[in-house]
């Protein structure tokens, strides 16, 4: 009888110990700060930091090559990061924004950076975009890419496939819309003299008619005024775009400073002293030379982007 009780006690103790071990194994034991995440540009001049081994060496090499090609074409910088957790940050979004600004992803002055972050412990995907790519990649489009290309594959445990699909979708949007923008600008400026001629011709005809009718002193000021209005309207799009971009950036900078974000003083200052000065304005205009840089270009995050749980 005593032997049976002793055996039952041992079984109970063993089962209890096993249960406690399983419970403790699911509790995160390591907090991660952005300073502990290896910068891929400094580590191996790449664009990928895979801390939880979601990617094979072949997939990582493929992503690095795709991003390098994009960066050489139009200067956009994308970095892909996988982390075990984003704790102790308040949210994965806060961690992603802080990491983006600490590294300064994107070219300085152009702010054309993107951070594609996957947190395995949080089961969360975040994509952060800089000011310069918000028009090409608005929040709604970024969210759609995550929900359609990334999350379904992650739910099936296909992390490598999801990261590859998400990266390819981002690059496709950046390449397609950048090409469309360049084509539109080219078509508008291809025959500037002819456009001006068409605008001014009616005015000159009106002036000739007015002269013949001896009404030149009356109609001349009106004609000049109309010419000025037409020329201003020709450039209204450029003026409006520049003003909107300027005001948007100023408002967001004010919002970030006012909210007292933890990274606004420490992260950006440490980065500017170490790497922003190394990435001069010449590298912003010469994309081919920037691929050999050992750091990112000193871009700024607009706080935009999207995320999704899986």
Q: What is the pLDDT of residues 53-92, one digit of tens each?
A: 999 999 999 999 999 999 999 999 999 999 999 999 999 9
Asked whether 304 and 48 are in contact (CB, 8 A), the reply is no
Q: What is the pLDDT of residue 289?
A: 38
Q: What is the pLDDT of residue 304?
A: 84
**How many Cβ atoms from other residues are within 10 Å of residue 279's Cβ?**
20
235-263 per-position pLDDT tens digit: 666 666 566 656 666 565 555 554 444 43
pTM over 0.85: no
Q: What is the pLDDT of residue 267?
A: 37
Residues in the chain: 310
Q: What is the pLDDT of residue 284?
A: 37
Q: What is the pLDDT of residue 66?
A: 96
Q: What is the pLDDT of residue 298?
A: 78
SS (H, E, C) the chain: CHHHHHHHHHHHHHHHHHHHHHHHHCCCCCCCCHHHCCCHHHHHCCCEEECCCCCCHHHHHHHHHHHHHHHHHHCCEEEEEEECCCCCCCCHHHHHHHHHHHHCCCECCCCCEEEEEEECCCCEEEEEEEHHHCCCCCHHHHHHHHHHHHHHHHHCCCHHHHHHHHHHHHHHHHHHHHHHHHHHHHHHHCCHHHHHHHHHHHHHHHHHHHHHCCCHHHHHHHHHHHHHHHHHHHCHHHHHHHHHHHHHHHHHHHHHHHHCCCHHHHHHHHHHHHHHCCCCHHHHHCHHHHCCCCCCCECCEEEEEEEEEC
Q: What is the pLDDT of residue 283?
A: 38
Q: What is the pLDDT of residue 246?
A: 61
Q: How far apart are CA 62 and CA 165, in angstroms?
A: 12
List, for the chain, all residue ranges whose pLDDT scores fall below the cut of 70. Answer: 1-30, 178-197, 210-219, 234-294, 301-302
């Amino acid at each position: 009888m005593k032997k049976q009780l002793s055996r039952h006690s041992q079984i109970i103790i063993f089962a209890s110990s096993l249960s406690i071990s399983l419970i403790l194994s699911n509790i995160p034991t390591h907090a991660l700060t952005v300073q502990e995440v290896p910068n891929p540009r400094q580590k191996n001049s790449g664009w990928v930091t895979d801390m939880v081994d979601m990617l094979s060496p072949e997939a990582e090499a493929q992503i690095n090559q795709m991003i390098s090609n994009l960066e050489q074409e139009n200067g956009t910088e994308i970095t892909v990061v996988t982390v075990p957790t984003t704790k102790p940050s308040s949210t994965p979004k806060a961690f992603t924004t802080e990491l983006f600004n600490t590294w300064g992803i994107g070219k300085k002055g152009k702010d054309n950076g993107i951070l594609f972050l996957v947190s395995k412990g949080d089961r969360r995907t975040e994509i952060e975009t800089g000011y310069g790519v918000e028009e090409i990649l608005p929040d709604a489009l970024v969210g759609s890419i995550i929900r359609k290309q990334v999350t379904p594959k992650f739910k099936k445990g296909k992390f490598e496939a999801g990261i590859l699909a998400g990266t390819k979708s981002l690059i496709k949007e950046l390449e397609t819309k950048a090409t469309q923008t360049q084509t539109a600008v080219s078509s508008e400026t291809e025959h500037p003299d002819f456009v001006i001629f068409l605008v001014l011709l009616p005015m000159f005809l009106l002036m000739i008619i007015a002269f013949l009718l001896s009404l030149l002193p009356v109609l001349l000021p009106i004609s000049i005024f109309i010419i000025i209005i037409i020329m201003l309207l020709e450039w209204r799009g450029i003026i409006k775009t520049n003003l909107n971009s300027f005001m948007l950036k100023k408002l967001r900078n004010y919002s970030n400073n006012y909210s007292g974000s933890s990274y606004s003083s420490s992260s950006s200052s440490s980065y500017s002293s170490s790497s922003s000065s190394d990435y001069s304005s010449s590298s912003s205009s010469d994309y081919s030379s920037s691929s050999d840089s050992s750091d990112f270009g000193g871009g700024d995050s607009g706080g935009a982007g999207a995320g999704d749980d899986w």
